[in-house]
Amino acid sequence: MPFDVQGRLVPGAVPSTRKPPPSIVRPPYVGRAAPPAYSGDNTYTEEEIGRIRASGRIASRALDAVGEAVRPGVTTAELDRVAYESVVSQGAYPSTLGYRGYPASSCTSVNEVICHGIPDDTVLREGDIVNVDVTAYLDGFHGDTNRTFRVGEVSEEVDLLVERTHEAMMRGIKAAKPGRQVNVIGRVIETYAKRFDYGVVRDFTGHGVGSSFHTGLIIPHYDSAPAYADVIVPGMVFTVEPMLTLGTHEWDQWDDGWTVTTRDGSVTAQFEHTILVREDGYEILTVSE
Ligand code: MF3
Ligand code: CO
Ligand code: CO
């Protein structure tokens, strides 16, 4: 079911939605159509940053656990179960669960799926790649991170795409310095990606994150200047999460209202961190240690 005769992904069976124990505090949007409007800026006090860091650590540790579970034969639903158990056992809520109606604790995006893949009965095969995106919510703050995992051995072309997508994210993060406009991040990412003729996805972006899952601040991964001219300041928190493809940046969306694929079926990879901008550099808030 999950791969058609051409090897393209098709929708599978989605397991029933999980319900964390009542001791796990839910974000305000759960059970509503949309999150409440966010009115704050994108800077935080040290105390608040400590909370984003705690949530970020939980999400990162959940990805560590997911990574241990990735192998040929595993389903994306099983990876989502691992993510759920990890986040909830650390006392946090998996932010995607019930976000605008999203049914799972992670996004699992396989091969040509750019982002927002819904975990289902898709059985991963040697040579596939799968991006797993986990956000944790604890004490009023979210930490958002994703990684692309290789399933067994992958082709050299795909291996390099994964490696270079990680490098593109790191270059974007390092470009985020106080006094610059946020559009510097995408400029650096696009310039690097174009060396290899990769597609750079434009319509899904990084974002401010903190007490709100998506604050309204947008961080493009392409060169958007003179647009997206918000000036980076110390204490700002946002994600950098580039999606690069072996072909087009154009996309289609499945009828499930979530799954986004490359229009040409080309393979695509993504990495994401939540970062804090400091006076003298950056701190990655989504790390396990
Ligand atoms: N974590 C994703 C991001 O990086 C958002 C997923 S929203 C969902 O912004 F509803 F699709 F889960
Ligand atoms: Co994000
Ligand atoms: Co994410």
- Residue-wise pLDDT for 15-53, tens only, equals 899 999 999 999 999 999 999 999 999 999 999 999 999
Give start and end residues of each alpha helix (H) in the chain: 46-69, 76-89, 156-175, 183-195
Q: How far apart are CA 269 and CA 196, in angstroms?
A: 14
How much distance in Å is there from the Cα of 272 to the middle of ligand 2? 7
How much distance in Å is there from the Cα of 179 to the middle of ligand 1? 28
Q: Are 126 and 257 in contact (CB under 8 A)?
A: no
* Ligand 1 atom, smallest distance to 144 CA: 1
* Ligand 1 atom, smallest distance to 106 CA: 12
- Residue-wise pLDDT for 202-228, tens only, equals 999 999 999 999 999 999 999 999 999
**For range 245-260, the mean pLDDT:** 98
Residues with CB under 6 A from ligand 1: 96, 99-100, 102, 107, 116, 133, 135, 144, 207, 239, 241, 258, 272
The whole-number pLDDT of residue 2 equals 84
Whether 138 has a pLDDT exceeding 80, the answer reads: yes
**For range 78-101, the mean pLDDT:** 98
Q: Is 94 exposed, middle or buried (0-12, 13-18, 19+ CB in 10 A)?
A: buried
How much distance in Å is there from the Cα of 241 to the middle of ligand 3? 8
Task: Choose which residue among 29, 106, 107 to substitute to test ligand 1 binding: the one with the highest number of ligand atoms within 8 A of its C-beta.
Answer: 107
How much distance in Å is there from the Cα of 146 to the middle of ligand 3? 6
What six digits make up the tokens of 14? 């989605």
How much distance in Å is there from the Cα of 20 to the middle of ligand 1? 19
The whole-number pLDDT of residue 1 equals 52
The whole-number pLDDT of residue 225 equals 98
Q: Are 241 and 166 in contact (CB under 8 A)?
A: no
**For range 114-136, the mean pLDDT:** 98
Ion ligand 3 nearby residues (CB, 5 A)? 133, 144, 146, 272
**For range 51-73, the mean pLDDT:** 99
* Ligand 1 atom, smallest distance to 209 CA: 9
Average pLDDT taken over every residue of the chain = 97
Q: Where are the beta strands (DSSP E) in the chain?
A: 93-94, 107-110, 113-115, 129-138, 141-150, 199-200, 206-207, 218-219, 237-240, 243-245, 251-253, 260-262, 268-270, 273-278, 281-284
Whether 89 has a pLDDT exceeding 90, the answer reads: yes
